[in-house]
Amino acid sequence: MEITFYGAVREVTGSMHLLKSGQDRILFDCGMFQGRRKESYEKNRVMPVDPTTITNVLLSHAHIDHSGRLPVLMKQGFNGRILCTRATADACTYLLLDAAHIQESDASYLNYKALRNHLTQMKRETSRGKKKQRDTREIQKILKKKRHQLDVENIDRLMADHGIKSIRPLYTTGDAENTLEIFDGYPYEHPFSVGKGITCTFYDAGHILGSAFSMLRLQQNGKSATVCYTGDIGRFGKSIIRDPTTSFAEEDRDVDLLIMESTYGDRLHEPVKDLKPGLKRILTETLARGGSMLIPSFAFGRTQELLYTLHELYKEGETPRVPIYVDSPLATKLTRVFGEHPEVYDADTHKTFLKDGRNPFSQEQIHFVSSVEESMALNREEKPHIVISASGMCEAGRILHHLRYKIHNPKHTILIVGYMAANTLGRRILEQGTAYQEGGRKGPPPLMKILNKEYPLEARVVKLGGFSAHADKKEMCQFLNSSNLKIKKIALVHGEEDQSLSFAETLKGEGYNVFVPKVGESVSIG
């Protein structure tokens, strides 16, 4: 019996680990690498294991860095089942289709750019002066059906005619649909078979709706072993879903190897208890200026937390009840998934909402924006309101249009509630907006480029920490020290190298036998 670590090893994306036991090959997660386009494409395209040899996949939760390569696995010959909780299966229905759409759109746009540049260069070799602009417009008419819709079929044909190698998506919508047909959903704390002599039990990980610790009990050639894969560990005391499990069944308590995340192995989050009063303060200050609040937000998890917290504030009469608009089709679908799984809500959610027959994500002031026309009309709304929109890092999606309509007005607030990666528009807004505010808002405001046009960043930029779905250093230690598990060895994954190594030193100081594997490293169990 052996575990090999392939992805999210000394980094935080592309989760994938392989368990070998007898003839079985069980994959823990099959996540997508996220980062620079070319590097990520190559990493995601090439599987480190032969998909035809994989027996089954255990999926810890629906986030794309854990589930996003499942259609690639399927395309390359995987013939088993994908085993997860029922809520995770439902969420993947939308997340994998959305990921496929993004892959297709990105490939189409890159092909359009390559062909447009090629045709433009050909025209320039024979054109001069003002004719260049006319030639550019003529080329765009050939390559587009409408102003914003690419003629994909014509682009593919012309690329073939001109001998230009086209870029293909990592996988298509059809590939994602085929993959969704092999999902099997299981409830928490009910053992099920995943291979010969291999039983798995899911326990609530508290990270996101449907997230699970996978506890495997193995029997092979008279030997036995227990392996627990945490996936991502949630925080304690957050709204909606239950805290990470710390009480495990007696037969699952002796763990030979714990494969544990370490994303925030050397960091502490702001307290969960500060979230609601912080949101109340920021909203009240914004409304006092007669402004609106824009919240770039991830569609799965963060959006629903915001709706829940705002619903609480409105229910308690803590703030004026201005309209709340969720302007993200994906977030709308995933909010529906949340509403369909009250069985995983925590006790506070049942007490605050369900016992009175209330839906935590629905109230008179919440409006889900579906069409592009509705979104465009909302851009022009001048009465105070709240917009929650994707993408979470302001790199694409409808949030860009809301920003360009409101970013230049100091009465509005841009509320940052999540991590903004380097080189994203969200990071630039956060850093430069904060610096402008700390400098007394003196001098010209910083300029933000949105959809190829520059806008002055005069709106207030405020960061509200604590919304992270990952346990921090203290909370990960809390999970270990308060659980009834007896752990022989810990492998730390899903963390940048400095975070994993730092957390390893912390755990060694508390008496744990811990190591940080390298990519491709294997360890025997049992």
Last-in-domain residue among 442, 463, 484: 463
Cα separation, 413 vs 416, in Å, equals: 9
Average model confidence (pLDDT) across the chain: 92
Same domain, residue pair 403 and 434? yes
DSSP string, 98-109: HHHHHHHHHHHH
- Across 124-146, average pLDDT: 68
Q: What confidence score (pLDDT) does residue 141 get?
A: 75
Q: What is the pTM of this model?
A: 0.89
Residue 125 structure tokens: 């070799």
pLDDT digits (tens, 9 = 90+) for 426-449: 999 999 999 999 999 999 999 999
Characterise 213 by phi-psi region: left (phi > 0), alpha (psi -120 to 50), beta (else): beta
Assess if residue 176 is contained within a domain. no
Last-in-domain residue among 413, 436, 463: 463
Same domain, residue pair 405 and 500? no
Assess if residue 31 is contained within a domain. yes
Instruction: List the one residue out of 478, 470, 472 whose CA is nearest residue 234.
Output: 470
DSSP string, 367-388: EE--SHHHHHHHHT--S--EEE
pLDDT digits (tens, 9 = 90+) for 240-263: 999 999 999 999 999 999 999 999
Q: How far from 55 is each of 50, 77, 136, 240, 522, CA to CA, in Å?
A: 11, 11, 53, 34, 19
* Cα 151 from chain centroid (whole Å): 30
Q: How confident is the model at residue 143 (pLDDT cuts 50, 70, 90)?
A: confident
- Across 166-184, average pLDDT: 95
Q: What confidence score (pLDDT) does residue 321 get?
A: 96
CATH number assigned to the domain comprising residue 392: 3.40.50.10890
Cα separation, 437 vs 441, in Å, equals: 5
Q: What confidence score (pLDDT) does residue 227 get?
A: 98
Count structural domains, the chain.
3
Assess if residue 421 is contained within a domain. yes
Assess if residue 173 is contained within a domain. no
Q: Over 80: is that where the pLDDT of 129 sits?
A: no
pLDDT digits (tens, 9 = 90+) for 459-515: 999 999 888 899 999 999 999 999 999 999 999 999 999 999 999 999 999 999 999
Same domain, residue pair 315 and 203? no
Cα angle 386, 389, 390 (rounded to 5 degrees) comes to 165
Q: What confidence score (pLDDT) does residue 154 get?
A: 85
Q: Which domain holds residue 450?
A: 272-463
Q: What confidence score (pLDDT) does residue 78 get?
A: 98
pLDDT digits (tens, 9 = 90+) for 330-379: 999 999 999 999 999 999 999 888 888 888 898 899 999 989 899 999 99
pLDDT digits (tens, 9 = 90+) for 268-322: 998 888 899 999 999 999 999 999 999 999 899 999 999 999 999 999 999 999 9
- Across 72-77, average pLDDT: 96
Cα separation, 408 vs 221, in Å, equals: 69
